[in-house]
A and B are shown apart, each in its own frame.
Chain A
């Protein structure tokens, strides 16, 4: 019973059962490995993707809940906010091990789309669900501010 998903602007047919978390559809069936598994309980944010532009944790989002929503993953993250964020991430050299960074960028991009000039409190709220074991938080904060300024 194939299901049709819209991932990064493309319609894709998948065979996974409806209870399969979107994370494992992306990784296990579509081999889109940029979205990461960290906890399986929406506690770390490594699996963050966008559903119709809203950040969600793919590890607890069953395929049945996706429907015809537009799924955006790190591989398909585009647009002025994404470009500004990647530039700031590069200039400020944010990433360390990098494992959480797909999720961090997905959350940061969703934030900037809603709040083009986020305050520190906005960043705390939007990024609070994304854990980083390497401790890149100070540079993430600076990079989000810089991306917001850069697009200003």
Chain B
């Protein structure tokens, strides 16, 4: 791991002083954007990541969206640490769109290599991908990558800016820079002179670029590793936080839609005569399906309520499109057929699995399945666009600002540079806002509004029925044991739709793709030391748009894999923790996480029954995703009505260096609740291409009364930081399913979990 990162990130050693030579990572690559940052009066941009104001504010530039995952707080702390700023003087501002802000970590992580593979192929592929993505990549918040992606660039930027402030002070005082230090927003000279960053800002901006900077050692950290509270939190408690839906440019009009009930369908013809007569209506128009979205008729009116009422008065004949005959039964039949026939693309193999199975004393097999899922972010899909004098302004909540800008530009028939995009807070993203369908749609709608800004807002029902769903998936497992009951062979094939080829077509217009790692992630890239193994996935093409859903392939593959590991432990008559531990002898980090979770959950000790005398049981799951290792132990009981109740979840995570333990714990809690909603309730079904669910009555979310206690423990680590936004999600479904097996003897092999 260390070796790989050294190659990829140009000198990212794990601990100790990090001296980054600019020869290794030239500053022009990620330090300075092609255009200078916008600066208000008194502000001095010291590089593309930080501005210091004469008013002594330090404005840290955010290249990542804030959608609840806490990236803004973590990234600001990383830069402020190396700058030696005072946390109280730190402000945030979104960066413009520029190549230096492109996400490199996610594309490198997207390569289909096993984490244990430290081979030269992987290193070269990773290096080339990172280099390429610097030029042609995209700004993106996703894949639990924000900290990982910017951990070094933002530290370097902070250290660089600090060096310039020190040089400014030295020049002003006529002393040596080496005699000056920075501390909590001040530069100080050994002789006692001192000046605030604000006083030095203008002069600092004129200093030459330092040749190299020395980053702090972990022991020197004052902000990194501390449980800082969320920086934007106060605005979320008094109604002043501005989400996408809160964009409010003067003269704002509102658009409501009637969308084809079939996902991906479009308008054949429509009659808007009745709608046109209703109060406040300005325009009615046919809107094509953009970027894999669905077509419909939009009504623009003076208020949101007028638009909504008028949209309901439009009558439409639909062209239902390619998904018109798709129903859940046919999807599952197609997947089952593929499972029977497919050998699949092999993502991982070890030893000779066929021979080992033939020689096995006993074998077990099982099939698993998972349904489509909706993202259900609480802020419904919306986007505000103003198109005036050949240029556009977009206000929206997005995980991909550059792609969103391009989508708007294309829909309006103008150059990207003619679009200014304002990124607002996201009322949840979870992968839904990696898509640009709604931005293109809102641009097409605003195009007819005669220069007025228009906010296009979907109903909750439209948000549910025109999503890019987590793919349904099926998997078949076979495990072989020797005469002593030891597991010797592991075979796993899964089948389902692939996301990346769809994204390439709808977002980039590129057909064809190689293997899509996201289909098999969570199955093939896990640490278990199977002596003989083959893990494969077969892509099944179906005309339903699928997308990235928090933890992506891991969201279902972890359920399959960790449930079947539990089945294997039971077949081998071994304790589930001990069985896993025996397969992790060369993976000390994973073993430690597993054993810590077992210890904190009192694994193996009797569990007291609940208040009403109901029996409880524990289940365990261990899973690695987005670089982080998480083990969860769930305590469950079953009510008289077979309702599954999860009381307590112990969650242990090794995410490398913990930038902010408070926000990491928040994300673990968040992952557990998000994953539990899917495990207990989540299921999107189709009939004739139409999604059968619509609002929170049939897309239930976990509520307060059903929420378990979540106890998070973070393993101390000096390894580079890894993801935290998603890794809490995958283990909870199998942990609960395994607990239900322990409690009832029923092995549940389908999501959502339902007891017979």
Q: Give residues of chain A (83-124) contacting chain B, Cβ–Cβ below 8 Å.
A: 86, 89-91, 93, 95-102, 105, 123-124
Q: B303 an interface residue at 8 Å Cβ cutoff?
A: yes
**Which chain B positions have C-beta within 8 A of A127?**
703-704
CB of A62, distance to nearest CB on chain B (Å): 10
CB pair B237–A101 under 8 Å, yes or no, is yes
CB pair A128–B303 under 8 Å, yes or no, is no
Q: A32 an interface residue at 8 Å Cβ cutoff?
A: yes
CB pair B378–A28 under 8 Å, yes or no, is no
Q: In the assembly, what is the distance between CA of A99 and CA of B426, in Å?
A: 8
**Which chain B positions have C-beta within 8 A of A91?**
229
CB of B704, distance to nearest CB on chain A (Å): 4
CB of B108, distance to nearest CB on chain A (Å): 27
Q: In the assembly, what is the distance between CA of A21 and CA of B68, in Å?
A: 28
Q: In the assembly, what is the distance between CA of A34 and CA of B673, in Å?
A: 25
Q: A6 an interface residue at 8 Å Cβ cutoff?
A: no
User: Nearest residue in A to B70 (C-beta to C-beta)?
Assistant: A96
**Which chain A positions have C-beta within 8 A of B69?**
96
CB of B218, distance to nearest CB on chain A (Å): 23
CB pair A39–B460 under 8 Å, yes or no, is yes
Q: B335 an interface residue at 8 Å Cβ cutoff?
A: no
Query: Do A135 and B378 form a contact, CB below 8 Å, given A24-B305, A95-B236, A141-B704?
Result: no
User: Nearest residue in B to A124 (C-beta to C-beta)?
Assistant: B705
CB pair A93–B233 under 8 Å, yes or no, is yes
CB pair B459–A40 under 8 Å, yes or no, is yes
Q: In the assembly, what is the distance between CA of A104 and CA of B82, in Å?
A: 37
Q: In the assembly, what is the distance between CA of A141 and CA of B669, in Å?
A: 13
CB pair B279–A17 under 8 Å, yes or no, is yes
CB of A78, distance to nearest CB on chain B (Å): 10
Binds A, one of B167-175, B242-250, B323-331: B242-250
CB pair A28–B305 under 8 Å, yes or no, is yes
Q: In this complex, which of B425, B663, B704 has the most chain A Cβ atoms within 10 angstroms of its Cβ?
A: B704
**Which chain A positions have C-beta within 8 A of B248?**
31, 33
**Which chain B positions have C-beta within 8 A of A17?**
279, 305
CB pair B696–A93 under 8 Å, yes or no, is no
Q: In this complex, which of A29, A33, A133 has the most chain B Cβ atoms within 10 angstroms of its Cβ?
A: A133
CB pair B236–A98 under 8 Å, yes or no, is yes
Q: In the assembly, what is the distance between CA of A74 and CA of B66, in Å?
A: 22
CB pair A99–B704 under 8 Å, yes or no, is no
Query: Do A21 and B237 form a contact, CB below 8 Å, given A93-B666, A97-B67?
Result: no
**Which chain B positions have C-beta within 8 A of A133?**
376-378, 428, 430, 674, 701
CB of B523, distance to nearest CB on chain A (Å): 26
Q: B685 an interface residue at 8 Å Cβ cutoff?
A: no
Q: B482 an interface residue at 8 Å Cβ cutoff?
A: no
Q: Give residues of chain B (658-686) contacting chain A, Cβ–Cβ below 8 Å.
A: 662-663, 666, 669-674
Q: In the assembly, what is the distance between CA of A96 and CA of B701, in Å?
A: 16
CB pair B669–A139 under 8 Å, yes or no, is yes
Interface size class of A (residues with CB under 8 A): 35 or more
Query: Do A43 and B68 form a contact, CB below 8 Å, given A31-B248, A86-B237, A101-B236?
Result: no
Q: In the assembly, what is the distance between CA of A20 and CA of B307, in Å?
A: 12
CB pair A41–B460 under 8 Å, yes or no, is yes
Q: Give residues of chain B (219-254) contacting chain A, Cβ–Cβ below 8 Å.
A: 229-230, 232-243, 245-246, 248, 254
Q: B707 an interface residue at 8 Å Cβ cutoff?
A: yes
Contact pattern, B 681-716, Cβ under 8 Å of A = 1, otherwise 0: 000000000000001110001111101111000000
Q: In the assembly, what is the distance between CA of A93 and CA of B74, in Å?
A: 14
**Which chain B positions have C-beta within 8 A of A89?**
233, 237
CB pair A132–B378 under 8 Å, yes or no, is yes
Q: A12 an interface residue at 8 Å Cβ cutoff?
A: no
Q: B62 an interface residue at 8 Å Cβ cutoff?
A: no
Q: A44 an interface residue at 8 Å Cβ cutoff?
A: yes
CB pair A131–B378 under 8 Å, yes or no, is yes
CB pair A99–B695 under 8 Å, yes or no, is no
Q: B379 an interface residue at 8 Å Cβ cutoff?
A: yes
CB pair B239–A27 under 8 Å, yes or no, is no
Q: B485 an interface residue at 8 Å Cβ cutoff?
A: no
Q: B33 an interface residue at 8 Å Cβ cutoff?
A: no
CB pair A99–B305 under 8 Å, yes or no, is no
Q: In the assembly, what is the distance between CA of A135 and CA of B279, in Å?
A: 40
Q: B451 an interface residue at 8 Å Cβ cutoff?
A: no
Query: Do A38 and B380 form a contact, CB below 8 Å, given A16-B303, A29-B303, A99-B427?
Result: yes
**Which chain A positions have C-beta within 8 A of B515?**
none
Q: In the assembly, what is the distance between CA of A70 and CA of B428, in Å?
A: 31
Q: A145 an interface residue at 8 Å Cβ cutoff?
A: no
Q: In the assembly, what is the distance between CA of A96 and CA of B303, in Å?
A: 30
**Which chain A positions have C-beta within 8 A of B68?**
95-98, 134
Q: A48 an interface residue at 8 Å Cβ cutoff?
A: no
**Which chain A positions have C-beta within 8 A of B427?**
36, 97-99
CB pair A44–B428 under 8 Å, yes or no, is no
* B695 touches which of A31, A39, A137 (Cβ 8 Å): A39
Q: In the assembly, what is the distance between CA of A131 and CA of B701, in Å?
A: 7
User: Nearest residue in B to A73 (C-beta to C-beta)?
Assistant: B239
CB pair A75–B305 under 8 Å, yes or no, is no
Q: A35 an interface residue at 8 Å Cβ cutoff?
A: yes
Q: A140 an interface residue at 8 Å Cβ cutoff?
A: yes
User: Closest 9 A-B residue pairs measured CB to CB?
Assistant: A34-B239, A135-B673, A97-B68, A99-B427, A98-B236, A96-B68, A124-B705, A43-B696, A137-B707
What are 18 A-B contacts defined by CB distance under 8 Å? A28-B305, A36-B378, A39-B460, A43-B696, A89-B237, A90-B229, A95-B68, A96-B666, A97-B426, A98-B427, A124-B705, A130-B704, A132-B673, A132-B701, A134-B674, A137-B673, A138-B710, A139-B669
A37-B380, A40-B460, A141-B704 provided; 5 other pairs, C-beta below 8 A? A33-B242, A39-B695, A44-B460, A133-B428, A135-B707
Question: B residues within 8 Å of A by Cβ?
Answer: 66-70, 229-230, 232-243, 245-246, 248, 254, 279, 303-305, 376-380, 425-430, 457, 459-460, 662-663, 666, 669-674, 695-697, 701-705, 707-710
